[in-house]
Amino acid sequence: MRRKRLVFAVVAILLSTLAARGQSTFAPKVSGPLSQRVVAYQIDARYEPDKHTVDATETLTYHNLTGRALDRFPFHLYLNAFQPKSTWVHVAHRDGSFRTSSFEEGWDPKHSGSNDVTSLEAVGMGDLTKQMKFVSPDDGNPDDKTVMEVALPRSVEPGQDVTFKIKFRATFPEVVARTGYKRAFLLAGQWFPKVGVWWNGAWNCHQFHAMTEFFADFGTYDVKITLPKNYVIGATGVQTSDTDNGNGTKTVAFHAEDVHDFAWTADPNFKVLDSEFDGSVGAVKVRLLTYDSHKSSWQRYLDVMQGTMKHFDDWYGPYPYAQITVVDPPHGAFEAGGMEYPTFITGATVWWAPKGQKELPEVATEHEFGHQYWYGMVATNEFENAWLDEGINSYTEVKVMASLYGKNTDVLNWLGAQMGDAAEQRLSYIRVAETDSLSQPSYQDMSIGSYGGVTYGKTATMLLTLEAVVGEQTLQKALRTYFMKYRFTHPTQEDFLRTVNEVAGQDLGWYWQQAVYGTQVLDYKVRRADSTRVDWPNKDAPEEKKGETLYQTDVLLQRLGDFIFPVVAEVKFDDGETIRETWDGQDRWKRFVYRKKAKVLSVEIDPDHQLTMDRDYLNNSIATEPQRGATQKIATYWTFLTQFCAQMLGWLT
């Protein structure tokens, strides 16, 4: 009987291995490898839902393609960020909150998490457990244990491999900062020891920071997860087997290639909705893991995924993987929402979300899918140049959302109120316009708030403004070129800027110096616009008559900010004539003078509303006739709300 079971198990393993090899991780018309595969991870993990822990054995093979001998290796142990004295907690507490978690009432032990490495061996070099030490390369915090380094007894020569065997336990916090559990739900992100990246001649392995995200090498992942058999599981890559262990558990295996991280999720209450996107490189499976109580959002998720994938395929390049898994976190697990991992994203919704607001789930889902391109495939260093991922992705989010749901209605179109994604990005930027440049290391930004406004808002706004110089289509072409050229290569910001210059056919250094490397603020103002009778000194001049009286019109434009940008001003006269003037914006002011038998009606800088970087829209125009509409409308609502509040209070007396 025992022998029969053994034979059965061997056959099952063989079959699952064959199945794994037969299951491509790529779309039908794609064949790998797509990247320089530096790492190969094999992880065998067992999840204990009651304890929220994973005990695992990790085998990591590192291919030394650095061109030099390596004798020490740093590893990320990011679950250790969830300890009260870590750098992440310090910054989150300093700035009041992180994402949706507040630390104003002190540290809550339920947010504790850890990565405990119980043994580490380098094959052929022996047990190195005692060689492990925590390092804090960014801030020297001795209590931060998010980076561990191990020194090898001998170097790994260029072109050679080294294999690490690591045993570890991951303890998850209640969901916080993109990872953790909520009830039976688990989002396992940053859960395993992950080696740093050899980049620009040095190890690049930053601590876990509150502001920035991640950076890792491309490679392959073979991960087996054992968990109770009633759980539904989803992960990076494709599922290759699902084995019932006969003891109330099952082991599910996943395989992924040309990705740089691996995340997974599990919940017995997940509902699985599979659909397909037919892209330029063949069909891609879109797997949505959601809940019955989010039924009102199911179609919205599927629709925005179809629309987004189509636009990215058309505009920027193909999605080469066989599957994208979209996780809809349960209520109360917002911290798990809006996150990207390779071929695996989390959206966010609420069951009562009106269709007129598109933040949830549409914007969140679109944004996270966009990361598959900029974070997942281009894979820039998010610690140091987060804007190359988050920012460019925010720009493409604006473009895709506008195309799908309307330029001025793609965030809000409800009860008569409208708002566009571009306006939202701009608002987040203008609040922190002078704080941080895009080019500085993102984890060193002034605050979590300034990081958000600059990295997301400023980049999107700066690229939208750039459209005024190079044109929308050129910028789209530049992004496509950048994506196709640099995918799977970890490019730098200079690579991006150079690509745009090349595609645009012009040196945009003047723009990059201000918008990327500087903190200059763009603010142009119409200072004066008025018409005076030319014959004003003549006391006997005839009565003013439209179309006959000659006027001198003075228009004065002013540059208030230190950002220099060419602007267009539109001057309208009461005879119907409209003149567009251009000004290079170099000097502090510019005057335009007209002699016409017409009076000026209005002057507006940036009449096409392209300069979204302009911090103050209110001073961009002057109308000679009073413009009372907006004031009256808001005052009407304001009056009503005051009255309503008054009568409610009066009701109580």
Partner 1 sequence: MADDNRGLVAAGAVLVWRRQRVLWWVFAVNLVLGLLGAAGARSELGRVLQHSLAGNGLTRGFDFGMFLELVNQPTVNLMRSAGGSFLFAALFPLFMIFVTGGILAVYREDRRFTAGDFFAASGAFFWRFVRVALFSLIPFGILGFGLWAVNKLSDYIGDRSVSAQTGFYILLPSAILVTLLVLFVRLWFDIAQVRAVVQDEHVMWRNLWKALGITRRNVMTLFRVYLCISGVAWVTLAAGLFLWAKLPPTATPVTFLLLEFIILMQLLTRLWQRASAVTWYKRHAAVFPSDAVDYTIAAPAELVESVAASPDQVPASRSDTPAPSAEPEAPAEQ
- How far apart are alpha carbons 465 and 391 in whole angstroms? 14
Q: Which residue has the tokens 């080019």?
A: 439
In the complex, the smallest distance separating the C-beta of residue 551 from partner 1, rounded to whole angstroms, is: 18
In the complex, the smallest distance separating the C-beta of residue 422 from partner 1, rounded to whole angstroms, is: 8
- 181 phi, psi to nearest 5 deg: -115, 160
Ramachandran quadrant class, 44 (left: phi over 0; alpha: psi -120 to 50; beta: rest): beta
In the complex, the smallest distance separating the C-beta of residue 618 from partner 1, rounded to whole angstroms, is: 5
Interface with partner 1, residue 352, by CB under 8 A: yes
Q: β-strands 524-533, 417-419: how paired?
A: unpaired
* Distances in whole angstroms, Cα of residue 45 to Cα of each of 42, 167, 578: 10, 10, 70
**Which part of the chain contacts partner 1 (CB under 8 A), choosing from 36-44, 144-152, 191-199, 643-651?**
643-651
Interface with partner 1, residue 580, by CB under 8 A: no
Using the rule CB under 8 A, which residue among 67, 415, 473, 593 binds partner 1? 415
- How far apart are alpha carbons 610 and 418 in whole angstroms? 18
In the complex, the smallest distance separating the C-beta of residue 395 from partner 1, rounded to whole angstroms, is: 17
Going by C-alpha positions, the residue among 205, 215, 123, 204 that lies closest to residue 160 is 123
Q: Which is nearer to partner 1, 309 or 526 (CB)?
A: 526
In the complex, the smallest distance separating the C-beta of residue 575 from partner 1, rounded to whole angstroms, is: 19
Using the rule CB under 8 A, which residue among 17, 141, 249, 418 binds partner 1? 418
Going by C-alpha positions, the residue among 312, 285, 414 that lies closest to residue 360 is 414
Interface with partner 1, residue 634, by CB under 8 A: yes
Interface with partner 1, residue 512, by CB under 8 A: no
Q: β-strands 39-48, 53-63: how paired?
A: antiparallel
Q: Please tell me the count of residues contacting partner 1 according to CB under 8 A.
A: 65
Going by C-alpha positions, the residue among 189, 221, 212 that lies closest to residue 337 is 189
Please, what is the Cα angle at 173 between 172 and 179, to 5 degrees? Answer: 75
Going by C-alpha positions, the residue among 328, 168, 335 that lies closest to residue 234 is 328
Residues between 182 and 201 that touch partner 1 (CB under 8 A): 183-184
* Distances in whole angstroms, Cα of residue 291 to Cα of each of 181, 295, 364, 418: 16, 7, 17, 30
- Which two tokens mark 643? 């009255």
- How far apart are alpha carbons 486 and 472 in whole angstroms? 21
In the complex, the smallest distance separating the C-beta of residue 574 from partner 1, rounded to whole angstroms, is: 15
**CB of 106 closer than 8 Å to CB of 174:** no
Q: Which residue has the tokens 């310090």?
A: 90
Interface with partner 1, residue 351, by CB under 8 A: yes
Compose the 421-440 pattern: x for residues touching partner 1 by CB under 8 A, - for all others.
--xx-xx--xx---------
Going by C-alpha positions, the residue among 557, 585, 584 that lies closest to residue 571 is 557
**Which part of the chain contacts partner 1 (CB under 8 A), choosing from 218-226, 241-249, 447-455, 613-621?**
613-621
Interface with partner 1, residue 649, by CB under 8 A: yes
Interface with partner 1, residue 651, by CB under 8 A: yes
**Which part of the chain contacts partner 1 (CB under 8 A), choosing from 88-96, 319-327, 478-486, 638-646?**
638-646
Interface with partner 1, residue 602, by CB under 8 A: yes
**Which part of the chain contacts partner 1 (CB under 8 A), choosing from 146-154, 204-212, 453-461, 620-628?**
620-628
In the complex, the smallest distance separating the C-beta of residue 211 from partner 1, rounded to whole angstroms, is: 22
Interface with partner 1, residue 650, by CB under 8 A: yes
**Which part of the chain contacts partner 1 (CB under 8 A), choosing from 89-97, 395-403, 550-558, 611-619?**
611-619
Q: Which is nearer to partner 1, 81 or 611 (CB)?
A: 611
Interface with partner 1, residue 272, by CB under 8 A: no
Interface with partner 1, residue 646, by CB under 8 A: yes
Q: Which is nearer to partner 1, 144 or 410 (CB)?
A: 410
Interface with partner 1, residue 653, by CB under 8 A: yes
- How far apart are alpha carbons 64 and 200 in whole angstroms? 14
Q: Which residue has the tokens 């509902």?
A: 271
Interface with partner 1, residue 87, by CB under 8 A: no
In the complex, the smallest distance separating the C-beta of residue 525 from partner 1, rounded to whole angstroms, is: 11
Cβ-count burial 26-57 (b if 16+ within 10 Å, e if not): bbeebeeebbebbbbbbbbbebebeebbbbbe
In the complex, the smallest distance separating the C-beta of residue 550 from partner 1, rounded to whole angstroms, is: 24
Using the rule CB under 8 A, which residue among 32, 126, 332, 471 binds partner 1? 332
Residue 408: half-sphere exposure toward Cβ, Cα within 13 Å: 4
Using the rule CB under 8 A, which residue among 331, 527, 533, 597 binds partner 1? 331
Q: Read out DSSP for 329-342?
A: PPTT-GGGSSEEET
**CB of 276 closer than 8 Å to CB of 265:** no
Give the contacts of 280 (CB within 8 A, at least 6 positions apart). 29, 313, 318
Interface with partner 1, residue 644, by CB under 8 A: yes
Using the rule CB under 8 A, which residue among 417, 484, 541, 550 binds partner 1? 417
- How far apart are alpha carbons 545 and 524 in whole angstroms? 34
Partner residues linked to 186 by β-bridges: 181, 266
Q: Which is nearer to partner 1, 299 or 636 (CB)?
A: 636
Q: Which is nearer to partner 1, 291 or 316 (CB)?
A: 291
- How far apart are alpha carbons 524 and 607 in whole angstroms? 12
Interface with partner 1, residue 623, by CB under 8 A: yes
- How far apart are alpha carbons 598 and 533 in whole angstroms? 10
Residues between 382 and 411 that touch partner 1 (CB under 8 A): 408
- Which two tokens mark 308? 């987004």
Compose the 537-576 pattern: x for residues touching partner 1 by CB under 8 A, - for all others.
----------------------------------------
Q: Which is nearer to partner 1, 269 or 403 (CB)?
A: 269
Interface with partner 1, residue 156, by CB under 8 A: no
DSSP 81: G
Give the contacts of 200 (CB within 8 A, at least 6 positions apart). none
Using the rule CB under 8 A, which residue among 412, 464, 515, 611 binds partner 1? 412
Give the contacts of 275 (CB within 8 A, at least 6 positions apart). 285, 286, 288, 302, 305, 306
In the complex, the smallest distance separating the C-beta of residue 624 from partner 1, rounded to whole angstroms, is: 7
Q: Which is nearer to partner 1, 181 or 214 (CB)?
A: 181
In the complex, the smallest distance separating the C-beta of residue 628 from partner 1, rounded to whole angstroms, is: 7
In the complex, the smallest distance separating the C-beta of residue 616 from partner 1, rounded to whole angstroms, is: 7
Partner residues linked to 46 by β-bridges: 55, 226
Q: Which is nearer to partner 1, 20 or 560 (CB)?
A: 560
Compose the 289-328 pattern: x for residues touching partner 1 by CB under 8 A, - for all others.
--xxxx----------------------------------
- How far apart are alpha carbons 461 and 482 in whole angstroms? 19
The residues binding partner 1 (CB under 8 A) are 183-184, 269, 291-294, 330-332, 350-352, 408, 412, 415-420, 423-424, 426-427, 430-431, 602, 604, 616-624, 626-647, 649-653
